[in-house]
Amino acid sequence: MGAIANEDYRDCVEGKIVDYVAVPYLLAMQVCIAHVLLHLGEGEEVAFIFEEHSVYKHSAQTIYNSIFAFHEGDARLHSLTHVRKNTYVAMQTADYLAFQLGQFLLDPASKKSKWGMSILGDGNVKGVQFNREQIKRIVQTCISKGISLGSTGR
């Protein structure tokens, strides 16, 4: 999983970086990809499939291109794609898991969190939730590279 708290996004990112790069969905997607690639063993392969959100289509493609350029020659990374929500039954399962994980991260003691633990198991999920300091470093890097509200190019 890759996660970013909405409050951290609002405090650290919103209004500082252009949205086409740094909306919470795209940041969480990048966190997830980075974490998987970091822990993927030699000889293992991965293909990432995300639910299509038309508003993020062009931004996601920019991110994909960057990831493939950075990992050029890495045979473990097969593809990064977005598909329509109902393309795969597994997308619905992933939605349930993402919802449950969100509830668990918001408040592990809440009714919704407790009711869905059969989906999440013991709550020991592989992945990363960016903390405020990590998010601030991303913002500073983007600003230093000219990806701030004042930039006009994509």
Which residues have a Cβ under 8 Å from the Cβ of 135 and sit 6 or more positions away?
Answer: 4, 8, 9, 12, 13, 27
* Calpha distance 102→121 (Å, rounded): 14
Q: What are the tens digits of pLDDT across the range 95-118? A: 888 888 888 888 889 998 888 888
Answering whether pTM is above 0.95, one says no
Model confidence at 77, in pLDDT bands (50, 70, 90)?
confident
How far is residue 50 from each of residues 38, 73, 98, 142, measured CA to CA in Å?
19, 23, 12, 24
Model confidence at 154, in pLDDT bands (50, 70, 90)?
very low
Straight-line distance from the first to the last Cα atom of the chain, in angstroms, rounded to the nearest whole number: 27
| Mean pLDDT, range 66-95, rounded to an integer | 82
